Amino acid sequence: AQTVTQSQPEMSVQEAETVTLSCTYDTSESDYYLFWYKQPPSRQMILVIRQEAYKQQNATENRFSVNFQKAAKSFSLKISDSQLGDAAMYFCAYRSWNYGQNFVFGPGTRLSVLP
């Protein structure tokens, strides 16, 4: 079974600064997806970024980028130019490659953005 670990229960960053959230995972599969989801106080899950394991290039979405190290099974999220609206719970998630598979979520990191 797959597991996802986030070793930072809480993080804080100054507005406009950069922060990196850590995630490691364990799997025996070679093809899979990795995700970062944001959950604001509304509790709606919002997709931040996704990475296909077969892609060597790290995914980027505007201010959000990942450092995907497949051999090390590491998948960190970097948020640049942090904004107050970035404050939320961030979940790292794993999903198998086959269609219609469930997510395996990490325990989450609560990010605070300081003005």
Partner 1 sequence: GAVVSQHPSRVICKSGTSVKIECRSLDFQATTMFWYRQFPKKSLMLMATSNEGSKATYEQGVEKDKFLINHASLTLSTLTVTSAHPEDSSFYICSAPWSRSGGQETQYFGPGTRLLVL
Nearer to partner 1, 14 or 40 (CB): 40
Minimal distance, residue 103 CB to partner 1, in Å: 7
Minimal distance, residue 79 CB to partner 1, in Å: 20
Q: Dmax of the chain from CA atoms?
A: 42
What is the C-alpha to C-alpha distance for residues 60 and 50, in angstroms, rounded to an integer? 9
Nearer to partner 1, 41 or 115 (CB): 41
Minimal distance, residue 99 CB to partner 1, in Å: 5
Q: Which residues bind partner 1 (CB under 8 A)?
A: 42-45, 47, 91, 95, 99-108, 110
Whether residue 86 contacts residue 115, with contact meaning beta carbons closer than 8 Å, is answered with no
Is 109 exposed, middle or buried (CB count within 10 Å of its CB: 0-12, 13-18, 19+)? buried
